[in-house]
Chains A and B, each alone.
Chain A
């Protein structure tokens, strides 16, 4: 068993970044995520693993440092909260186009604009539908516990390098700020420069003797070539849709109704299930772990099995619910429930919403 600690989600994320063998963290503080860089600075990772921690001059600088670091095959990561992530969107589009593996964490707060510093889930569209320009995807993982804030860091690096693409950990202020028990994984050693060269033949870390010059770019002025590059990206995305869908089913076996939720809303919904089952209503929870790829097939399977209705629970005005609707194809009732602007719904409110919008509605 690994070391047990009581940690905030943000602290667990930071410790996991060091333990995952990251080479560099580049970030800029913003509430409710500032503990990440605070922890990383205090933990002196340069003494533990040689990892670099740098406070950049802005979020725009951080994301472009990731472009540079990731292009050399190094494990690089940043974190921020909603307004900061918006600033990074241009860089993310470039990184996706140039096929650079990076990890980015968003501890979401209420928006739009500067909004507030309370938890929200209103960045779903931005994360899953492409916040920047062009046809690209981020692989998006949604932790719903402090343990997952830690566990999803090495997983994100693995997926980022497996598919050469940006992977986002989409958290929220509640998961970032709360403390839970976390079992830390053992230190994964950083790769040496030679190991990086051997492992990643695409990395721009010096022209090999007698080898081809390596190019990493998102620019190709020849439309025929750029079309081929886009086909290649799309093919990669289809593979990910086939292989990387992750979710957890909680009490779905005998359920008549399903709550669909992720992150802190999934935790709240677990309590709502207990409240509803105490009243004799058979309800289960489909907890999304990957937001993209979305578990479309799983939802279709649940419809086939005879589920009578789905309630999408998210702290937004209704974003993820669109993907639930696309999957259900109008066959059964789908509704949305969620509080806005940093207000967190209670388990009781979610339970009432299911009764009113799905069962009674």
Chain B
């Protein structure tokens, strides 16, 4: 099993940390992982993306041009990455702020109203965990218990009290993902 994922959105949405939590979860279940950010002179409000690979084998290139799954969280990223999904691959997006919806016919398309749910739950910060939950509902590649273990490893001790809220957010994401197109 090898899953090649691009997560793309605005800086500040938690794109990079979502990728990091996913990668840590992979390590917790003995997988090979890589996390390659688009680093550069980028900042809050600018675009941010990260390539995450989970695999049972040694990972070849951490830098890719074609992905099994794209998780897209703003319009710029939709424009940039919709066409990079492999035929038969998966697109997950949050429709909030999207004016040009995906048009590909050869991929599976899902959406999750993560921004809306996050504001209903009263915390914009859990937006990315709702998205992660939606992804894990579609592709249960890592176990939730390993995500929690990953959170424990990657978050500083002083933030551990927030782990239950993050867990709740994952479950909200799992419940609220909608299939828009299935091939």
Assembly CA distance A179 to B102 (angstroms):
30
For chain A, what secondary structure do more than half of its interface residues adopt (helix, strand, loop), or is it mixed? helix
Question: Binary interface profile of B, 157-170, with partner A (CB < 8 Å = 1, else 0)?
Answer: 00000000000000
B64 to A117, Cβ gap below 8 A?
no
Contact mask for chain A residues 1-22; partner B; CB cutoff 8 A; 1 contact, 0 none: 0001010000000000000000
Q: Which residues on A sit within 8 Å (CB–CB) of B154? A: 6
A64, CB-defined interface residue at 8 Å: no
CB <8 Å contact, B61 and A178: no
B41 contacts the other chain (CB 8 A): yes
Q: How far is the CA of A274 from the CA of B64 in the complex (A)?
A: 13
Q: Is B20 an interface residue (CB 8 A)?
A: yes
**Which of B7-15, B28-36, B137-145 contacts the other chain?**
B28-36
A271 & B60 in contact (Cβ 8 Å cutoff): yes
A173 at interface, CB cutoff 8 A: yes
- A152-189 interface bits toward B, Cβ cutoff 8 Å, 1 = contact, 0 = none: 00000000000000000000011001111100000000
In contact, A174 and B41 (Cβ under 8 angstroms): no
Interface string of B87-111 (1 = CB under 8 A from A): 0000000000000000000000000
Contacts of B148 in A (CB 8 A): none
Contact flags B53-84 to A (C-beta < 8 A → 1, else 0):
00000011111111000000000000000000
Shortest CB-to-CB span from A132 to chain B, Å, is: 30
| In the complex with contacts A4-B27, A6-B154, A180-B35 CB distance below 8 A | yes
Q: Which chain A residue lies CB-closest to B53?
A: A180
CB atoms of A178 and B62 under 8 A apart:
yes
Whole-angstrom distance from the CB of A249 to the nearest CB of chain B? 14
Does B63 lie within 8 Å of A267, measured CB to CB? yes
For residue B66, which residues in chain A have a CB less than 8 angstroms away from its CB?
Answer: 348
| Cβ-defined contact, B35 with A267, below 8 A | no
Question: Chain A residues near B27 (CB, 8 Å)?
Answer: 4, 6, 181
Tell me if B45 counts as interface (CB < 8 A to partner A).
Answer: no
Known: A117-B40, A179-B34. A347 touches B23 (CB 8 A): no
**Contact between chains at B24 and A267 (CB < 8 Å):** no
Contact (Cβ within 8 A) B60 A348:
no
Which chain A residues lie closer than 8 Å to B32 at the CB level?
Answer: 180-181
Q: Within 8 Å of chain B (Cβ to Cβ): is A300?
A: no
Would you call A178 and B36 a contact (CB within 8 A)? yes
CB contacts (< 8 Å) of A267 on chain B: these are: 59-63
Q: Within 8 Å CB of B64, what residues of A? A: 271, 346-347
- Bound form: Cα–Cα A16–B83 in Å: 40
| B37 at interface by CB-CB < 8 Å | yes
Q: How far is the CA of A347 from the CA of B62 in the complex (A)?
A: 10
In whole angstroms, what is the CA distance A347 to B36 when docked? 15
Asked whether A179 lies within 8 Å of B23 as measured between CB atoms, the reply is yes
Q: Which residues of A contact B60 (CB under 8 A)?
A: 267-268, 270-271, 273-274, 347
Q: Does A118 contact B (CB under 8 A)?
A: yes
A178 near B35: Cβ-Cβ < 8 Å:
yes
Produce 1/0 per residue, A340-361, CB < 8 A to B.
0000101110000000000000
Question: Contact: B39 with A177, CB < 8 Å?
Answer: yes
For window 254-283 of A, CB contacts with B under 8 Å fall at 264, 267-274
A172 CB to closest chain B CB (Å) equals: 11
Residue ID in chain A nearest B32 by CB atoms: A181
The answer to the question of A338 belonging to the interface, with a C-beta cut-off of 8 Å to chain B, is: no
How many Å lie between the Cα of A317 and that of B169 in the bound state?
A: 48
CB <8 Å contact, A177 and B36: yes
B36 to chain A, nearest CB (A): 4
Are B61 and A6 neighbours in the complex by a CB distance under 8 Å? no
- CB-based contact B40/A6 at 8 Å: no
Task: Write out the residue numbers on chain A whose beta carbons fall within 8 Å of the beta carbon of B37.
Answer: 177-178
Shortest C-beta distance, B68 to chain A (Å), equals 13
| In-complex Cβ contact of B33 among A6, A117, A269, A272 (8 A) | A6
A173, B61: Cβ atoms under 8 Å? no
Smallest CB-CB separation from B63: which chain A residue?
Answer: A344
Q: Is the CB of B36 within 8 A of A174?
A: yes
Write out the residue numbers on chain A whose beta carbons fall within 8 Å of the beta carbon of B36: 174, 177-179
Q: In the complex, what residues of B have CB within 8 A of residue A346's CB?
A: 63-65
Give the distance to chain B from A68, nearest Cβ to Cβ, in Å.
34
0/1 string, A116-130, CB within 8 A of B gives 1? 011000000000000
- What 7 pairs across the A-B complex have the smallest Cβ distances? A270-B60, A271-B61, A179-B35, A346-B65, A271-B60, A178-B36, A268-B61
25 contacts between A and B (CB under 8 A): A6-B27, A6-B33, A6-B154, A118-B40, A173-B39, A174-B63, A177-B36, A178-B34, A178-B35, A178-B37, A178-B62, A179-B20, A179-B23, A179-B34, A179-B35, A179-B36, A180-B32, A180-B62, A181-B32, A267-B63, A272-B61, A346-B63, A346-B64, A347-B60, A347-B61
